[in-house]
Structures are given as C-alpha cells and as structure tokens.
Structure 1
Amino acid sequence: MKLYNLKDSNEKVNFFQAIKLGLGQKQGLFFPLDLPKIEKEKLEELLKMDFITRSSNILSYFIGDEINQKELHNRVKKAFLFSPPRLVKITKNIACFELFHGPTLAFKDFGARFMAQMLSHLNQDGNNSLITILTATSGDTGAAVAHAFYGMKNVRVIILYPKGKISEFQEKLFCTLGGNIHTIAINGSFDECQTLVKKSFNDIVLKKSTGLNSANSINISRLLAQICYYFEAFSLIPKEKREKIVISVPCGNFGNLTAGLLAKSLGLSILSFIASTNANDTVPRFLATGQWKPYTTISTISNAMDISQPNNWPRVEELFHRKKWNLKKLGYGSVSDTETKHTLLELKKLGYISEPHAAIAYKLLKNKLKDDQFGLFLGTAHPAKFKKTIENILDITLPLPKKLAKINNLPLLSHNMLPNFSQLRKFLLDI
C-alpha cells in the first residue's frame, strides 16, 4: 500500500511507515495513493462473511502484501475480540448502529486496538526501539488508546485531555491505569491539546529522541479499521433496504465520517452521509458558506465533538476530489445542547436510552430522511459514560456496566499542565 502526504505529494510511504510516522512532513496527513474498488459479486460474498473474516479481507485491499493474509486475520481477530456492533431499530425506517460494545464502551476501540496490533506486529520483527504514543482526546480516544496499548512492551503512551471538559467516566477509564500510560490534564480546550501534539511532531529532535507517534485518527491505521464496521452495518440490513441508505455520523475530528466515505468508495451503496455536529460547527458553516472560519471551541454536553479544527477534514475533501463527488451533496447540520436534551427525551419515549452524541446524529437524520429511505445513526458511546448528564435529563437511574463499576472508586493518576509546549517537551524528555 502506498500513501502520499496531503501537504507534500512527493512524500510517499508504505502502510507500516505511515503507522510509525503518524504525520508526514509539514504535519501532512497520509492518504491512499490507490482507491480500491470491490466488484459487486465479491461485495455480496463479503457481506455473507463473519465480522472478523470480512474485516481482514477489507483491510487487505489497502494493506496489500505488507502483511500476509493469515497474520492479518489473526491480528484483526485479536483487535476485534469483543462483542460486534449491533443494529437497534428505533422507528420504521431508522436504526441506531451501536459501536460501543468494546472494552472502553466507545467506537474508538476498533481503530485503537487495530493500530496496537499493527505496531505489535512490527515489534515482533526485531524492531525493539521505544515508541512514544502521544495523543490528544476530547473524551473517548484516550480510553481506547490507553487500553489498547496498556502493558505493551517498548511502548509508552502520553494522553492529553482538556481538564474538566470530559465526563467523569471518560476520565476514569484512562487516567487510572498507570504503568506505561501517562495522562496529562491540560488547562485548556481540546484544540489546544491538539496543537501541543502537532508542535511535538514538528520538533524533529524531540520526535527522533522519543520515537514519537500518534494514535489520533490522523494515524491511517485507525481510520482503515473503522471502515470495517460500515460493512457490518450493511450485512445486518435487509437487502431490499440497502440501496437507499443514509448514515448520520456524529462528528468531532471527522475520522468516523472519513472511514464511512472510504467504505462508500470501496463499493458500499451508501446513498448519502450527514455530517452531524454540535455547536462547534466549523464544517457545517463551511459547507453552507464556503468559508473556513473556526471559532473558539465551546464546551457542550456532547464533549467528544467539542472540536473546532477537525484534523481529518482535508482527507474528506481529498476523497471527494479524487472520486469526483460533489461536496455540496454531503448532508450537514449542527444541534444545540437544548435540542440535544429534547432529542434524548424523544428517544426515551421511543423506548431507547441514548447519549448526547448519538442524539445529535438522530436529530439531523430524522429531519433530513425521506420516506423511501432507510436511515442509520451511529451510536458511538455507551450512555453510562455520561451517567450524570443522562440521569439529569431523563430523570432515570442508569445502571453501571461492569467495566465502569470496576474503576468507579479508583484514584486519578493524571498530571496537570498549562497548554505550554516547553513544559510538555520537558515532560516527554524526562519520563
């Protein structure tokens, strides 16, 4: 698999080089040089396979012979060794595709665990140099990455997150592990955390001396893993409904939407997507006006989407350009906290307990879906991760899943830091 740097097309790397580098020169994102297309007959075969077998087949279209099929299958099996996604009917023509049945109760388990398996594969080939995973999280990435790499030999993980701006259980899931997992509460926004990560990758000396890598969705391995569950969704939908499917994606850094678009590029007959955001609506405003004008990030109850400068948007634009798709046909919209609360109550009346991110996706899907279409909205996190918020809005008591009950009383092990690069640099060099 060859990939090129979106900011310097002369820089080309293979799949494993892209994983190790994370970002290219000038902080450019890597993007596939070839966009494979699955023939319709083969697509039908894939949709009949089990989730693991299908996923390893899909990933092989991108990775090629850089890893043999048997080893790839084993790595995918280890990565996705948890309950597969579920399709839950909400109304006659709308269903929630639940992606939160993994170890950290969020969709990001798929990408983080696959990336960990790919790095483990590299390490088994005698590459025992230290790898430092530096990543920023607005909520769910932190836990998924921490658990995926916890205890892994020659890997240390540093996770930055905006202090006081993620839920209690999101924080508990990754700030109580210790060992090779180091967490830093930054007194600022997610965008400031993300800026610190980018500055670190720009520091050549720091990057080389610490073996710096990123597990954000900027890393191509995470993105490719997420393609797999879109195929799982199709396998669960009746054949007669597969030709008019609209998918509403809760968007923060836009990696999940990018993966869905790549699934469409591969051959899935997805009619359209809706890029669903909260009040941090840089992309919806851009699609409406043609002006890219990020505002200061606003804290919302859908905190994992509190991102004003989404990293993956250049990949979305590149794919639309390469496929000659019309960007104006991408659905979009933003939902306020007040509307989100009303939507959570509406879903409760329909017999479904959701959480803020999925509620936003449902709200926009319901508003835009036509009668002859079938709509999916992605359930990206378990409602219990936002226990206090959900209980206050819905006036219910949410039982804690075992995974959260185990960590409920554990102490936080985080460091505290201002959004200061010199301070972070010293920390990275000293640990």
Structure 2
Amino acid sequence: MRLYNLKDSHEEVSFSKAVQLGLGKKQGLFFPLELPKLNTQTLTDLMNLNFIDRSTKILSYFLHDEISSKDLKNIVKKSFSFQKPILKSISKNIACLELFHGPTLAFKDFGARFMANILQFLNVKNTPMTILTATSGDTGAAVAHAFYKMKNIRVIILYPNKKISTLQEKLFCTLGNNIYTIAINGSFDDCQNLVKKAFNDQDLKKKIILTSANSINISRLLAQICYYFEAFSKTPFEYHKKLIISVPCGNFGNLTAGLLAKSLGLPIKNFIAATNSNNTVPNFLKTGIWNPKKTISTISNAMDISRPNNWPRVKELFLKKKWSLKSLKYGSVSERNTKNTLKKLYNLGYISEPHAAIAYYLLKKKIKKTDYGLFFGTAHPTKFKNIVENILKINLKLPEILKKYNKKKMLSHFMKPNFEKLKKILLEKF
C-alpha cells in the first residue's frame, strides 16, 4: 500500500512507514494512492463472514502487499478481542450502533488496539519509540490501554485540563509504567498544536523515533472501516440501499473511515456529519468559508474541536471519487437540544450520552420515513456519569472497569501549552 502526503504529493511512503511516521513533511496527512473498489458479489460474500474474518478481508484489500493474510488475521483477532458492535433499536427505522463495548468503553478501542498491535508487529528490532498523542476525551484511554506495558514503547498523552470527564481521566491517568499523561492548561486545539509542533521539529526527529496515535495515524482509520461493514450487515435487508449513518464528529476520523468504507463499495446512501457548537465544518459546508473559531467547552467534550485534523482527508476523498461535498448532510446541535434529546431518548427507553444524542438529534431531523437510520454510540453513558445523571435525574451503575480505575490515584503532570517544556520531556530517556 502506497500513501502520499496531502501537503507534499512528492512524498510517497509505504503503509509501514506511514504508521511509524504518523505525519509527513509540513505536517501533512497520509492518504492512499489507490482506493480499492469491491464488486457486488465480493460485498455479498463479505456479509456472510463473521466480524473477525470480514475485518481481516477488508484490511487485506489495503495491506495485502505488506502483511500476509495469516499475520493480519492474528493482528485483527488480537485487536478486536472484545464484544463486537451491538445494534439497539430506538424506533421503527432508527437504531443506535453501540461501539463502546471494548476495554475502555469507547469506539476508539478499535483503532487504538489495531494500531498498537500493528506497530508491535512492524517493530521487529524492538527499537525504542515514543507515541505522542492529544485527546479530547476517549482517545487517551484507548491508546493508553492499547500500549500499556509494551516493551520499548513510551506513550505521552496531552489533554485539556478540567475539560474531560473525571471518569475519562481516571481511565488513563492512573496507569503509570510506560504511560505519561500531561494536563495542559488550555483547549484540545492547544494540545493538538503541541503535537503538530513536535512532529515538525527536525531536531526531535533526529534524536527519537516519534509517532502519533491520534486519528491522523492511517492505521486507526483503516481499523474503523471494519465496523461500518458490521453496521451494514446488521441493517434489515429491505433498507440496504436506504441506509443513513449519523456520526458524532470531533476530529472527523470516524466519518473519514465511513467515507472510505463507501469508497470501497459499501452502499451507504448518505452520512450526517454531526457536531456540537464547535461547528467549523457545518459552517464551511454552508458558506464555503473555512473559519475556525475559539473552541467552546460543551458536555460533549470529545467533540470540542474547532480545527478537525481529518478534514483534509475528507476533502481529498470527495475529490478523488468525484463526489460533491454538497451531498454530505451536516448540522450542529446546541447544549439545550443535546440535553433535551437525552431526555427524549430516555423516554423512548434508551439511556444515551451527549455525543450519541447529538447524532440522534440530527438523524431524527433529517431522515425520511422510507430510509433506515443508524446513529453511533461512541462511548458508554457512565463515562459521563454526572452529566447524564443530572439531566435524566437517575442513578447510573458503574461498569467494573470504571469502578476499578475510579479508585486509583491520579498520576498526571500539569503544564501550560509550552512546546520547549514538552520537547524536554520527549528527549528524556526511558
């Protein structure tokens, strides 16, 4: 698999190199040089496979020339060794695809665990490596647990101080060992900017092997394609050409994976790019003007991103496939409507959380009676326990994993968004 840099098309690398680099020159994202396309019979055959075999086959269309089928299946089996996505019906033609049944109760487990196992497989010489990543909520836990105690791999995670839920924080800021967490006094965009500066620092590149586990890393996106096929396999047959998927969007990696699934040939009728008040993309799609504003803190904190990293990939994909951006449905949802939607879902018998509620709100608003709609449940409601309990006036029982980590001591360090200080940390031996 060959990939090119979206900011410097002359830079072409293999999948292995792209995973290890994270970003290319000029902080450019890597994008597949060729996009595989499956015929109708192949798609039908894929639907008859189980989740692990189907995922292996899908990934092999991208990676067949770099990783053998046997090795790839072992990696997939190890990475997706938890409960596969579950479909929960909400009404006649709307359902939630719950993607949060992994070890850290978030959809990020799919991409993070696949990336960790891929990197371990590729690092045959056990060369010391630093993973630097920023999180607006769930990425931190998924990445930390995926790489926890892996030899010769150090993980440094930046997150906005006091802007993620306590339980999200507890899941990854209590591990220690090879996991180093830093609370930045600023927004997620500040954290993300520090990561970009690190990857653009030539001195750092000479002295350490540095890669990122954000959705800027192509391995995470490829892994996420797999559950879109699972979503389609669970859709009633009569709706196979009428499927609308509403995706809660922050950094837009999840939506990018869905669009890559569509480019493979998965007949998804349309997507809804659902955001909270941080509505840079909806405003762009409406006006054609890219004008990121200061990030606003909301109860859907994982989506509090005003400069989504993966948007250039979305634009490139539409360009390569000759799709019109005008065909992409979109919308942003206020705090008030998010809270009211949580109540409406509860009255329908379903306990959700803010991110999924945003996706449901826009799906309900835009879907036709003849279509079938899925909205993604990206995190377990208890990860936002206080918020959900306050809105719904109920008591939520914590899953065992959250009970376990909630009792542990916080190990985070604190700092202002200071790149020189971060650089000093990155250069420390481990």
* Alignment TM-score > 0.5, same fold: yes
**The 10-residue stretch of structure 1 (127-136 or 94-103) with the greater mean CA deviation from structure 2:** 127-136
What is the Cα-based RMSD across aligned positions, in Å?
A: 0.6
**1:84 corresponds to which residue?**
84
Shift of 1:207: 2.3
Shift of 1:65: 1.9
**2:411 corresponds to which residue?**
413
**2:42 corresponds to which residue?**
42
**1:299 corresponds to which residue?**
297
**2:226 corresponds to which residue?**
228
Partners of 1:409 and 1:105 lie apart in 2 by 17
- 1:185-207: CA deviation from partner (whole Å, max 9, x where unpaired): 00000000000000000111112
| Number of residue-to-residue matches in the alignment | 429
Shift of 1:64: 1.9
Q: Secondary structure at 2:65's aligned position in 1?
A: helix
**1:3 corresponds to which residue?**
3
- TM-score, normalised on structure 2? 0.99
Report the AA paired with residue 49 of structure 1: L
Shift of 1:386: 0.2
Partners of 1:238 and 1:347 lie apart in 2 by 22
Q: Secondary structure at 1:430's aligned position in 2?
A: coil
- Runs of 5+ in structure 1 lacking a partner? none
Partners of 1:337 and 1:197 lie apart in 2 by 29
**2:106 corresponds to which residue?**
106
- 1:373-420: CA deviation from partner (whole Å, max 9, x where unpaired): 000000000000000000000000000001101111111100000001
Q: Secondary structure at 1:247's aligned position in 2?
A: strand
Partners of 2:202 and 2:103 lie apart in 1 by 35
Task: Give structure 1 regions of 4+ aligned residues with deviation exceeding 3 angstroms.
Answer: none
**1:70 corresponds to which residue?**
70
Q: Does 1:272 align with 2:270?
A: yes
**1:212 corresponds to which residue?**
210
Report the AA paired with residue 83 of structure 1: Q
Q: Does 1:117 align with 2:117?
A: yes
Share of identical aligned residues, percent?
69
Report the AA paired with residue 83 of structure 2: S
**1:318 corresponds to which residue?**
316
Q: Does 1:400 align with 2:362?
A: no
**1:429 corresponds to which residue?**
427
Partners of 2:381 and 2:175 lie apart in 1 by 22
Shift of 1:348: 0.2
Shift of 1:284: 0.2
Q: Secondary structure at 2:140's aligned position in 1?
A: helix
Q: Secondary structure at 1:84's aligned position in 2?
A: coil
- 1:209-245: CA deviation from partner (whole Å, max 9, x where unpaired): 1211000000000000000000001111121111100
**1:360 corresponds to which residue?**
358
Partners of 2:205 and 2:97 lie apart in 1 by 38
Shift of 1:128: 1.8
Report the AA paired with residue 33 of structure 1: L
Report the AA paired with residue 321 of structure 1: L
Shift of 1:430: 2.3
Shift of 1:150: 0.2
**2:197 corresponds to which residue?**
199
- Runs of 5+ in structure 2 lacking a partner? none
Report the AA paired with residue 284 of structure 1: P
Shift of 1:342: 0.1
**1:188 corresponds to which residue?**
186
- 1:257-312: CA deviation from partner (whole Å, max 9, x where unpaired): 00000000001110000000000000000000000000000000000000000000
Report the AA paired with residue 38 of structure 2: I
Q: Does 1:239 align with 2:248?
A: no
Shift of 1:208: 3.0
Report the AA paired with residue 338 of structure 2: T
1:260 to 258, 261, 265: 258
Report the AA paired with residue 21 of structure 2: L
- 1:119-161: CA deviation from partner (whole Å, max 9, x where unpaired): 11112x3x22111000000000000000000000110000000
Partners of 2:149 and 2:258 lie apart in 1 by 31
Shift of 1:332: 0.4
